[in-house]
Amino acid sequence: MIAIEGISKRYDEVQALRDVSIDVPEGELFGLIGPDGAGKTTLFRLLVTLLLPDTGRMTFDGRDVVTDYRYVRRHVGYMPGSFSLYQDLSVRENLEFFASVFQTTVEANYDLIKDIYVMLEPFAERRAGALSGGMKQKLALSCALIHKPKVLVLDEPTTGVDAVSRREFWAMLRKLKDEGITILVSTPYMDEAAQCDRVGLIQDGQLLRTGDPATIAQAFDRPLYAATGEDAYRLLQALRQREDVEEVHPFGTALHVTARSDMDPDNVQRQLREQGFTGAHLAPIRPGIEDLFMRLMR
């Protein structure tokens, strides 16, 4: 459905994207994951015809994105990262306006947005500015869906939204995917990767890796341990000084320790306890996407 081949884009000073290639088959929920400034927004803007690439080629449903941009605009539902609706218009007024922008009506495509809109209906007359973050996201998604797009492009839709609403939002995306809509979504949250069919990790304008979120972390090619103990900061220092430890990163309450091949965890644990970390504990864990990201970013 979407084919991106060797796309590069440069702003005056910054190389925003370097030779990025992604293929997204029809009906896939693809997640673009990376920190702020990685190039996610630029890539999406290129894809929805708002920017022109310096090099490379993109096709949308088999049509060239640059030359056949009118086709793309008819069939893409786009939600910009900065999209915040019209704060001074009510939920209904917002929806009706965007429906008429796409030369359709709320009624004509009601079945597609029905599931989302029923949640909004009690607030139909409320101004968008007075909605909660989660409600705003739902409304924005409804606006992007109003013309039954073939592809949804959502730029960081869950940024600044509470955990419950985020989960709800992803559930809605899964449902839309089941309706056959191809979805591209970007997020800075690694924990959302598991919600996607496939993810791409992007950093500094470069696509580091793409793959299945369940198996992509297997590319992490070293043994990984979770270290716990009192005084996490000093523990981190102690681990980083060791020859047999390659990297240590704090992850929530634990420290993730990337081992060199010669590391013996029992040995490390014993030595730490001798050093005064009486509660020190080392246990092997499966690497997650975040671990992989940290490693790829080195």
Cα 101 to the chain's mean position, in Å?
28
CB 75 within 8 A of CB 107: no
Q: Which of 58, 86, 61 is nearest to 71 (CA)?
A: 61
Q: Which residues contact 251 (CB under 8 A, 6 or more apart)?
A: 226, 290, 291
| Dist CA 17 CA 123 (whole Å) | 41
- Tell me if 198 contacts another protein by CB under 8 A: no
Total length of the chain? 298
| Dist CA 149 CA 171 (whole Å) | 19
- Tell me if 79 contacts another protein by CB under 8 A: yes
Point out which span in 32-40, 74-82, 162-170, 229-237 binds another protein (CB under 8 A).
74-82
Beta bridge partners of 127: 90
- Minimum distance, C-beta of residue 22 to another protein, in the bound complex (Å): 19
Point out which span in 79-87, 161-169, 215-223, 240-248 binds another protein (CB under 8 A).
79-87
Read off the tokens for 275.
């050093």
Quick note: the x/- pattern for another protein over 119-148, rule CB under 8 A, is ------------------------xx----
Using the rule CB under 8 A, which residue among 81, 133, 223, 265 binds another protein?
A: 81
Nearer to another protein by Cβ, of 89 and 119: the residue is 89
3-state secondary structure of 43: helix
Q: Which of 201, 198, 200, 141 is nearest to 175 (CA)?
A: 141
Name the packing angle between helices 163-178 and 110-120 (round to 10°): 160
- Tell me if 54 contacts another protein by CB under 8 A: no
Nearer to another protein by Cβ, of 93 and 290: the residue is 93
- Tell me if 82 contacts another protein by CB under 8 A: yes
Beta bridge partners of 187: 33
Nearer to another protein by Cβ, of 100 and 237: the residue is 100
Point out which span in 84-92, 108-116, 222-230, 290-298 binds another protein (CB under 8 A).
84-92
- Minimum distance, C-beta of residue 82 to another protein, in the bound complex (Å): 4
- Tell me if 53 contacts another protein by CB under 8 A: no
CB 212 within 8 A of CB 31: no
- Tell me if 30 contacts another protein by CB under 8 A: no
Q: What is the DSSP letter of 29?
A: E
Nearer to another protein by Cβ, of 56 and 223: the residue is 56
Beta-carbon count within 10 A of 234 CB: 13
Using the rule CB under 8 A, which residue among 48, 91, 184, 268 binds another protein?
A: 48
Nearer to another protein by Cβ, of 83 and 251: the residue is 83
Nearer to another protein by Cβ, of 29 and 48: the residue is 48
Using the rule CB under 8 A, which residue among 20, 24, 43, 49 binds another protein?
A: 49
Task: Point out which residues bind another protein (CB under 8 A).
Answer: 45, 48-52, 69-70, 72-74, 76, 78-89, 93, 96-98, 100-103, 143-144
